[in-house]
A and B are shown apart, each in its own frame.
Chain A
Amino acid sequence: MDVLGNLILGFSVALSATNLFYCLLGVTLGTFIGVLPGVGPLVTIAVLLPMTFTLPPEGAMIMLAGIYYGAAYGGSTTAILVNLPGEASSVVTAIDGYQMARKGRAGAALAIAAIGSLIAGCIGTVLIAMFAPPLSELALQFGAPEYFSLMLMALILSASLVHGSLLQGITMALLGVVVGLIGIDVNSGAYRFTFGILGLVEGVEFSVVAMGLFAFAIIVVNLGQTTAGREVFTSSVSGLMPTRNDMKRTWKPILRGTAIGSILGILPGAGQTIASFASYMTEKRLSRTPGEFGHGAIEGVAGPESANNAAAQTAFIPTLTLGIPATPTMALLLGALLIQGITPGPQVIDQHPELFWGLIASMFIGNVILVLLNLPLVGIWVAMLKIPYRWLYPIILVLSCVGIYSVNHSALDVSLAALFGLLGYIFVKLDCEPAPFILGIVLGPMIEENLRRAMLLSRGDPMIFVRHPISAAFLLVACVVLVALVLPSVRRTKDEVIVSESDG
Chain B
Amino acid sequence: MVITKSFLSGSLFTLFGAGTVLMAQNYAMGTAGRMGPGYFPTLVGALIILLGVAQIIRAILSPNKSEPIAEWELRPLFFLLTAVVVFAVTMSKFGLIPAVVALIVIARLAAREGNLLELAAMVAALTAGAVLVFVYLLNIPLKLGI
A residues with a Cβ closer than 8 A to B are 50-51, 53-54, 165, 167-168, 170-171, 174-175, 177-178, 181, 185, 187-188, 190, 192-193, 216, 219-221, 223-224, 227, 388-391, 393-395, 397-398, 401-403, 405-406, 409-415, 417-418, 421-422, 425-426, 429-432, 448, 451-452, 455-456, 458-462
Contacts and interface: CB of A to CB of B under 8 A. Distances in A.
Given A395-B126, A398-B103, A401-B103, A421 B73 contact: no
A192 B42 CA distance: 12
Contact of A451 (B34, B40, B51, B100): B40
Given A220-B73, A415-B85, A430-B8, A390 B44 contact: no
Contacts of B24: 192
Identify the interface centre among A190, A389, A394, A411: most chain B CB within 10 Å of its CB. A394
Contacts of B32: 455, 460, 462
Contacts of B113: 227, 388, 390
Interface in B87-126: 87-89, 91-92, 96, 99-100, 103-104, 107-108, 110-111, 113-114, 122, 126
A475 B124 CA distance: 56
Given A397-B103, A397-B104, 12 more contacts: A54-B139, A165-B6, A171-B52, A178-B48, A185-B27, A397-B107, A401-B87, A406-B142, A414-B84, A418-B81, A421-B84, A455-B32
Contacts of B52: 171
A444 to B, nearest CB: 8
10 closest pairs, A vs B, by CB? A224-B73, A460-B33, A414-B88, A460-B32, A223-B76, A411-B92, A190-B37, A418-B84, A411-B88, A185-B37
Q: Which bracket fits the contact residues of B?
A: 35 or more
B64 interface: no
A402 B96 contact: yes
Main secondary structure on chain B at its contact with chain A? helix
Contact of B9 (A185, A220, A432): A432
A293 B54 CA distance: 38
A221 B73 contact: yes
Contact of A220 (B6, B76, B133): B76
A181 B83 CA distance: 28
Interface in B55-98: 55, 58, 66, 69, 71-73, 75-77, 80-81, 83-85, 87-89, 91-92, 96
B44 A451 contact: no
A188 B139 CA distance: 39
Contacts of B103: 394, 397-398, 401
A401 B51 CA distance: 35
Contacts of A425: 73, 77
A401 to B, nearest CB: 5
A391 B31 CA distance: 56
5 contacts: A174-B48, A394-B107, A401-B87, A405-B142, A456-B34
A401 B87 CA distance: 8
B77 A220 contact: yes
Contacts of B80: 216, 219-220, 223, 397, 421
Contacts of A168: 6, 9, 55
B129 interface: yes
A193 B140 CA distance: 31
Interface of B: 5-6, 8-9, 12-13, 16, 20, 23-24, 27-28, 31-37, 39-41, 44-45, 47-48, 51-52, 54-55, 58, 66, 69, 71-73, 75-77, 80-81, 83-85, 87-89, 91-92, 96, 99-100, 103-104, 107-108, 110-111, 113-114, 122, 126, 129-130, 133-134, 138-140, 142
A451 B39 CA distance: 11
A460 B31 contact: yes
B124 to A, nearest CB: 12
Contacts of B122: 391, 394
Nearest to B51: A171
Contacts of B28: 188, 190
Given A397-B104, A415-B88, A460-B31, A175 B16 contact: yes
Contacts of A397: 80, 83-84, 103-104, 107
Contacts of B73: 220-221, 223-224, 425
Contact of A411 (B77, B91, B104): B91
Contacts of B126: 394-395, 398
A329 B110 CA distance: 29
Nearest to A389: B111
Contact of B130 (A50, A51, A398): A398
A416 to B, nearest CB: 9
Contacts of B55: 165, 167-168, 171
A430 B12 contact: yes
B5 A216 contact: no
Contacts of B81: 216, 418, 421-422
A178 B129 contact: no
